[in-house]
Amino acid sequence: MDPLEERRCRRILEVAPGASLEEITRAYRLLRQLHGQDTGIFAAPAMDEFSAEARRDALEAIETAYAALSAPETREEAPAAEDVQAARPVPDAPAARPALASVPPGAATALGRARDAAGLTLDQVSAETHVRRDYLQALEEERFESLRLPTVNVRGYLTAFAGAVGLAEAGFVPAYMEKFIAWQARHQPR
Amino acid sequence: MRIWAVGGGKGGTGKSLIANGLAMGLAERGGRVVLVDADYGGPNQHTFCGMRKPATSLAQFFEQRVPLEQLALDTPVPGLRLIPGNVNSPDTDHVTFAQKQKLFRHLRLLPADHVVLDLGAGTQYDTLDTFLMADLQFGVIVPDALSIENFYLFLKNLKYRQLGSVLSGTGLREPARAIWRQREEHGIANAKDFVQHLRTLSAAFAEGLDRAQERLCLHVLLNQVRDFGQVELGLAVTSAMHKHFAIDGRFAGYLRYDKDLWQRFAQGQPAATGAASFTLHHGLAEVLDGMPQSPSPAGD
């Protein structure tokens, strides 16, 4: 399991870095009990932070983290070198890969075609949307493995990108996200 | 030296008493402790300490530049000194941020192992800023929905102040405003998405925020527990703080409700000693014994 991912999971379960599987299981049971209760007065109903969705997300994150940490096969799995690279956001990634500048315009995908049609470079789109260029490029080329981001960010960046290049097709974002989420489900450690 | 701050939003949850008890407990363990009554709106520490009419107060530091060392008065508890709040002037509630920074600079120069700040209720910026400046933060709640709701509001405001200072520090205040205005286009639904968006945008921001967040570890203390089942609430609030407000913390423990405690105040002796209230004294001792031993920041 990717060490960064493991650290993230341990944080979600609120256990120390060296915690044993037994401690992890205990922590998981307690958290499930605490966050699973419907009427607990700790969940301030008036606050957005405790919306039904937010509470479901918190519970889901707990389940996913426990599943990842407790599955023996994921603990033995060594991450591929390129995966580790992709999981860590590298601020100067575009500069480190100068070859990308010479990559021909991405006419292969809908986003690429729309960007070509609008006559914009990725840098221009990046300046306008405030989204990092390497994320835009990964979105355009549908390289999902380089988009290790919360789904909400992917959707946000995608919407901004599509808006900036004038891709007005109504079903574009949902269809793309469906593809992304399906990919994510296949690649998430179970 | 470590500066401890006790806060938590709602009034009447026992912040002042707990600040007093923690300071006393630290002194009983052999530390040199200075307790500062920074609850400008409702200073009580002198009474908790069993002192009738303190001759000086913190106001003199702000108004007449009297050194803190001169304002720290001996209390009946060996090792514990008190800088009282001002009860005799109606207008001490206006302390600027610059004044608070100055206060912190001077506090760090005091010959003491611990400084305990009683901050008072509310989520005013100056309370939050002072809270964030301390080395160790305690949040006090009681097991009822009102106190918990106010505590969350306190956390929310704390996050907001923290975010603001990191944005200013990285020069991103204006771009962040622009992004927030266009949040729908960026797919940002709430504060959490917003922070995540800014993180991916700027490595300096992400780093600054990580540092600020690492600094903040809130110790949640559940006061006035009448029934053991209520202790679970302390755990739930601490976990919710992590899950829903992205603030790291730990459940520092609970204090049992003492129905006779009110009679101990203003009796000319400290209220949190073992002789005055065994329940409170014992509970606080457990809290202090359970504190993780981390290396002291700044100073010694």
Contact between residue B83 and residue B113 where contact means Cβ atoms under 8 Å apart: no
Q: Report pLDDT digits (tens) over B111-154.
A: 999 999 998 777 777 788 889 989 999 999 999 889 999 999 99
User: Taking CB atoms and an 8 Å cutoff, what residues of chain B touch A46?
Assistant: 149
Q: What is the pLDDT of residue B24?
A: 92
Two tokens, residue B284? 């606080």
pLDDT grade, residue A98 (50/70/90)? Answer: very low
Are A152 and B193 inside 8 Å of each other by CB?
yes
Q: What's residue A101's pLDDT?
A: 37
Model confidence at B277: pLDDT above 60: yes
HSE at residue A83, side-chain half, CA atoms within 13 A, is 11
What SS3 class is residue A88?
A: coil
A189 pLDDT more than 80 = no
Q: Which CATH code of 1.20.1430.10, 3.40.50.300, 3.40.50.11930, 2.40.50.140 fits the domain covering B2-143+217-289?
A: 3.40.50.300
Q: Which helix (H) or strand (E) holds B256?
A: strand B249-256
Which one, of A102, A151, A156, lies nearest residue A131 by Cα?
Answer: A156
Tell me how far apart the alpha carbons of residues A189 and B77 are, in angstroms, rounded to a whole number. Answer: 58
Least confident of A21-25, B163-167, B172-176, B295-299: B295-299
Q: What is the pLDDT of residue B72?
A: 94
Give the model's confidence band at B271: pLDDT under 50 very low, under 70 low, under 90 confident, else very high: confident
For strand B80-83 and strand B73-74, is the pairing parallel, antiparallel, or unpaired? Answer: antiparallel
Asked if B240's CB is within 8 angstroms of A47's CB, the reply is no
Percent of chain A at pLDDT exceeding 90 = 18
Interface probe for A, chosen from B184, B243, B251, B294 (most Cβ of A below 10 Å), is B243
Residue pair B275/B28 in contact (Cβ under 8 Å)? The answer is: no
pLDDT tens, residue by residue, B218-241:
999 999 998 888 888 999 999 999
pLDDT at B91: 61
* Contact at CB, B144 and A132, closer than 8 angstroms: no
User: Beta strands of chain A (E only): which ranges?
Assistant: none
Distance separating alpha carbons of residues B58 and B69, to the nearest angstrom: 11
Query: Tell me, what's the pLDDT at A82?
Result: 42
Instruction: Check CB contact under 8 Å for A34 and B239.
Output: yes
pLDDT for position B138:
95
So what's the pLDDT on residue B43? 81
Q: How far are the Cα atoms of A54, B54, B67, B114, B138 from residue B72, in angstroms, in the given order?
A: 47, 10, 9, 13, 23
Q: What is the mean pLDDT of residues B33-58?
A: 85
pLDDT at A89: 42
- State residue A95's pLDDT score: 37
Please report the domains of chain A, with CATH numbers, ordered by start residue.
3-76 (1.10.287), 89-187 (no CATH)
Q: Where are the domains of chain B?
A: 2-143+217-289
pLDDT at A34 over 80: yes
DSSP-based three-state secondary structure for B6: strand
Q: Determine phi and psi for B294, rounding to 5 degrees.
A: -110, 155
**Contact status, residue B250 vs residue B238, Cβ threshold 8 Å:** yes
- Please state, in angstroms and rounded to a whole number, the distance separating the CA atoms of residues B247 and A71: 28
Grouping H, G, I as helix, E, B as strand and the rest as coil, residue B138 is: strand
Task: Return the residue in A49, A88, A139 with the most chain B beta carbons within 10 A, the one to mutate for interface testing.
Answer: A49
Q: What's the pLDDT score for residue A17?
A: 82
The token duo for B104 is 């912190």
As given in the structure block, the two tokens for residue B69 are 């060392």
Contact call for B187 and A156, based on CB within 8 A: yes
Q: Which residue has the higher pLDDT, B203 or B192?
A: B203
Nearest to B200 among A14, A31, A89 (CB): A89
Evaluate if residue A122 carries a pLDDT over 80. Answer: yes
Q: Quick one: pLDDT at residue A39?
A: 67
Tens of pLDDT, residue by residue over B58-112, are 988 988 899 999 999 999 899 999 999 877 766 655 677 788 889 999 999 999 9
Asked if residue B295 has pLDDT above 60, the reply is no
Residue owning tokens 């202790």:
B231
Which of A42, A57, A154 is most worth mutating to test chain B (most B CB atoms within 10 A of its CB)?
A42
Taking an 8 Å cut-off on Cβ atoms, the answer to whether B244 and A152 are in contact is: no
pTM: 0.70
Residues B285/B252, Cβ–Cβ less than 8 Å: no
pLDDT tens for A102-115 read 344 556 788 888 88
% of chain B residues with pLDDT over 90: 39
Give the list of residues 6+ apart from residue A91 with CB closer than 8 angstroms, or none.
B203
Chain A, chain B: beta-carbon pairs less than 8 Å apart: 89
With CB atoms and an 8 Å threshold, state whether B187 touches A40: no
Contacts 24+ apart (CB under 8 A), A187-190: A187/A144, A187/A145, A188/A64, A189/A1, A189/A5, A189/A68, A189/A71, A189/A74, A189/A77, A190/A67, A190/A68, A190/A71, A190/A74
B156 vs B95 pLDDT, higher one: B156
